[in-house]
Chains A and B, each alone.
Chain A
């Protein structure tokens, strides 16, 4: 008989990878993670917010703010939908690249370049720079779109070229490109606004035509246009990725570069082409922000959405249709936390804290979806003796 002390002890937990996690089970885990994250948010808010500590009963108001932030008034509902659309557009842009395992974290810069290009066209040709040069509105809008798409595509293409030719690390490259774009914007602003206030103000030209007239405010028409454009883009990207040869090639390159080479896919070509698509969509998002919403540009025009979009895309497992949901969750949290900031008079940075905490839980929950925990079974009595 084997002596007891030489027997190897089995570890307490043993991990195995799940092959195909069930849809219902994985959704259940995610919802549980979300709820848990929200509970922790309440706890953290309790620690941070003085008013909550004095009146603990207001914790219900705290959670109610999330509903109020997005759905209490018509204006909030519209901005909820519009914000989803813009964030979704950037996330869609990232998806082809991510499916190829090209870690493009430069959406912020690519989108900002789109905004900058659109506004540059508007500034020089729209009459603000020189009233004698004033192009008709429709041609201005088309030209702005073309410029934004081009700028986004170029900003995405540069890292892709180096990745394709010399295998330069794309994560770090695209990250740096964000800051180059930011400082390019501040350079342009100094050039355009001689007073030194470095704020361009809202341009009067290059406005979306009011397509939908039945709405209670003209701004909602622009919102609706944006939402419809993004919905169309979502459908197109879904088809592009799942039902075209390009989409198939992207998946193969993402799965294994060697396989792709073996079956005769030109990996370089796919990388470059996909990043152009990615950049074009970022440019579109930039156009929507620059022409549709702000009609102006600042270094903060994109406001970190390029980074948030990475999380939106990843949480949806790079599925364009699921991204509508994940973008919705992020915007829901964001608007809710904004509401909390006003209701409880705390710093405007609270949304980030809440989104961060909930994301930690959702990110962590992926583990329980992808892996199975096998706990050590209690050994039968006989074996011990």
Chain B
């Protein structure tokens, strides 16, 4: 295949991991909660999905059902992690940074324990589910679209849907109000606690899908789980890069995908020569771009490009 097409499709596919992670994180941040637990959530989402596939992967169920159940399990595991986070930060009003970091510590650790050989519930056998099941029409294909799986298209749909909900519905308006100024939202009769809980749990569920996508759909490799944590952090970077707009994660994740995977693809392109030393510099670029975007948006200080105003602050009604 043409190395360029190969490179671009692969970047698209790889980028979808961040698309899930950052769409989920955007929903959470729009409710005013900076969830630094996203890497842990993505790891556990991956583990949950794999656990389900491990149970049903070899059964006689129709392939599309296996795929859907796997996705569902992954979503629920992610949402459960989100529930821990929102119970601590919303109900118990704990510091969000600390809770998020603890969630990452916990999630990454638990996934590694679950996925390793030595434990009893080993999910290592998840790969019995053929990767082909994750290709439309749930049976695999051989044309160039085989690079992109079912879950890639799901990611695009989820990102667009999130944008629609956030910017075109009353629910989204209320949610943004909660993230900007919970006090005002509360006074307007919006149930702040419910919005925060739902946004965090659904967001974490979506982020969890990113883990499953990366392990099964994109990589389908035994060791894939080890790198999810890094991509979780990259997803948080992408949130800033796309200025808190879910639909923008589609081009954004593509750019990140290009930057992050070009170091391995660029060797196939005849007229470009890259030294080994340039690889880490290329991988550094997504983070540098994110910093630049962060700085530019703070200099321009346009209201629609700022983080939600109450991001990172707990809301206690009786506080003045």
Q: Which A residues contact B (CB, under 8 angstroms)?
A: 15-17, 47-50, 53, 103, 105, 162, 166-169, 171-173, 175-177, 179-180, 183-184, 186-187, 190-191, 196, 304, 307-308, 310-311, 314-315, 345-357, 359-360, 363-364, 366-367, 370-371
Contacts and interface: CB of A to CB of B under 8 A. Distances in A.
Contact of A162 (B277, B295, B307): B295
Interface string B207-237: 0000000000000000000000000011011
Majority SS of interface residues in chain B?
A: helix
B102 A190 contact: no
B173 interface: no
11 contacts: A103-B312, A162-B295, A175-B236, A179-B287, A183-B287, A191-B277, A311-B98, A348-B112, A359-B102, A360-B88, A364-B88
A48 B120 CA distance: 6
A171 B113 contact: no
A314 B280 contact: no
A171 B121 contact: no
A304 B109 CA distance: 12
Interface of B: 34, 36, 40, 84, 87-88, 91-95, 97-99, 101-114, 116, 118-121, 233-234, 236-237, 240, 276-277, 279-281, 283-284, 287-288, 290-291, 294-295, 298-299, 301, 307, 312, 316, 318-319
Contact of B106 (A49, A179, A191, A357): A357
A80 B240 CA distance: 39
B109 to A, nearest CB: 3
B318 A17 contact: yes
A48 B119 contact: yes
Contacts of A353: 106, 109-110, 113
A33 B40 CA distance: 23
A356 B294 contact: no
B191 to A, nearest CB: 13
B118 to A, nearest CB: 5
Contact of A48 (B104, B108, B113): B113
Contacts of B307: 169, 172
Nearest to B298: A168
A16 B120 CA distance: 46
A360 B298 contact: no
A190 B280 contact: yes
Nearest to A45: B113
A196 B318 CA distance: 60
A40 to B, nearest CB: 11
B74 to A, nearest CB: 19
A348 B115 CA distance: 12
Contacts of A180: 284, 287-288, 291
Contacts of B294: 168-169, 172-173, 176
Contacts of A47: 121
B196 to A, nearest CB: 15
B312 to A, nearest CB: 7
A49 B120 contact: yes
Given A16-B318, A347-B113, A360 B106 contact: yes
Contact of A53 (B87, B120, B287, B301): B120
Given A350-B113, A363-B95, 11 more contacts: A166-B298, A172-B240, A172-B307, A173-B294, A175-B237, A180-B288, A183-B283, A190-B277, A190-B280, A350-B109, A363-B94
Most buried by A among B109, B234, B283, B294: B109
A171 B93 contact: no
Nearest to B99: A363
Most buried by B among A53, A347, A357: A347
Nearest to A313: B98
A311 B36 CA distance: 13
Contacts of B295: 162, 166, 168, 173
B102 A311 contact: yes
Contacts of B93: 367, 370-371
